[in-house]
Amino acid sequence: MDFSSLTDAVLRVAAVFLCLTIHETCHGLAALALGDPTAKSMHRLSLNPLHHIDWLGLALMFTVGFGWAKPVPVDPRYFRRPKQGMALTALAGPVSNFLLALVLLFAGRLVYDYAPYSAANQRLLTFLLTTAILSLGLGLFNLIPIPPLDGSKVLFSLLPDRAYNTMLRYERYGMLLLWAVVLLGVGDKWMSAAIQWTYELFCRVVGF
- List active site positions: 24
Q: Is the peptide bond before 148 cis (omega within 30 degrees of 0)?
A: yes
Contacts by 82-85, CB closer than 8 A, 24 or more apart = 83/156, 83/157, 83/161, 83/164, 84/157, 85/31, 85/34, 85/35, 85/36
Sequence-distant (6+) residues with CB within 8 A of 60 are 66, 67, 68
Taking the CB of residue 39, how many other CB atoms lie within 10 A of it?
A: 23
Strand-pairing partners, residue 69, are: 53
Sequence-distant (6+) residues with CB within 8 A of 61 are 16, 67, 68
Among 19, 18, 40, which Cα is nearest to 28's? 40
Quote the longest CA-to-CA distance of the chain. 61
Do residues 208 and 108 touch, judged by C-beta distance below 8 A?
Answer: yes
Sequence-distant (6+) residues with CB within 8 A of 108 are 125, 128, 129, 132, 208
Q: What's the DSSP call for residue 186?
A: T
